[in-house]
């Protein structure tokens, strides 16, 4: 899948930052979310992962980005200021936001009964998460998410940031 192209950076997000993990997956980044401790820090750091945490005692450690903001969208912006996040790099909306799994294409007939009737009538392409089975399709939410991230990542003047759902 093309989603693996330029997005080489991988993130491990401290479990308290679950919404940040969700947004990184939307952008296409391979993003794990789990409780972190000292041994995991060393393990992931040596394997080339970038760790995100709010743990101030880890600030300055190798491979660690400490976030200070409270709201998820502010944390994404803070992260973007430290590590440039790419939006149009091929991975956008190609991962399951729950499992981090890359989505697979699915035949339209196979989603009958699994998506709302209106969606089935109006959408032609569907994807499914191979792990949790959740079905994804392009809808109005895609445009909304795109606009929001564009504002956030600086392609348009910043506005007051709202809390992520
Ligand atoms: Zn999934």
Give the Å distance between the CA of 137 and the centre of ligand 1: 14
Give the per-residue pLDDT at 154: 77
Give the per-residue pLDDT at 20: 96
- Which residues on neighbouring strands pair with residue 65, listed in sequence order? 52
Q: Tell me the C-alpha distance between 152 and 34, whole Å.
A: 25
Whole-prediction pTM value? 0.84
Give the Å distance between the CA of 62 and the centre of ligand 1: 31
Q: Tell me the C-alpha distance between 104 and 124, whole Å.
A: 14
Give the per-residue pLDDT at 8: 78
Phi then psi for 139, rounded to 5 degrees? -140, -165
Give the per-residue pLDDT at 7: 61
> CA end-to-end span of the chain, whole Å?
28
Weakly modelled stretches of the chain, pLDDT under 50: 1-6, 157-165
Please give the radius of gyration of the chain, using alpha carbons only, rounded to the nearest integer.
17
Give the Å distance between the CA of 26 and the centre of ligand 1: 12
Give the per-residue pLDDT at 96: 95
Q: Are 21 and 31 in contact (CB under 8 A)?
A: yes
- What residue ranges do the domains of the chain occupy? 9-93, 104-137
Give the per-residue pLDDT at 141: 78
Give the per-residue pLDDT at 155: 63
Give the Å distance between the CA of 107 and the centre of ligand 1: 18
Q: Tell me the C-alpha distance between 125 and 145, whole Å.
A: 18
Give the Å distance between the CA of 131 and the centre of ligand 1: 5
């Amino acid at each position: 899948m093309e989603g693996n192209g330029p997005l080489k950076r991988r993130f491990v997000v401290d479990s308290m930052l679950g919404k940040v993990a969700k947004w990184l997956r939307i952008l296409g980044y391979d993003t794990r979310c789990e409780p972190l401790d000292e041994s995991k820090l060393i393990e992931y750091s040596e394997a080339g992962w970038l760790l995100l945490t709010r743990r101030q005692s880890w600030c300055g450690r190798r491979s660690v980005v400490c976030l200070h903001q409270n709201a998820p969208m502010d944390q994404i912006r803070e992260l973007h200021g430290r590590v440039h996040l790419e939006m149009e790099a091929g991975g956008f909306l190609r991962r399951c936001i729950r499992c981090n799994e890359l989505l697979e294409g699915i035949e339209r007939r196979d989603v009958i009964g699994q998506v709302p009737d209106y969606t089935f009538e109006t959408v032609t392409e569907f994807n499914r998460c191979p792990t949790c089975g959740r079905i994804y399709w392009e809808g109005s939410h895609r445009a909304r998410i795109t606009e929001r991230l564009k504002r956030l990542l600086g392609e348009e003047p910043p506005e007051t940031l709202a809390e992520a759902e």
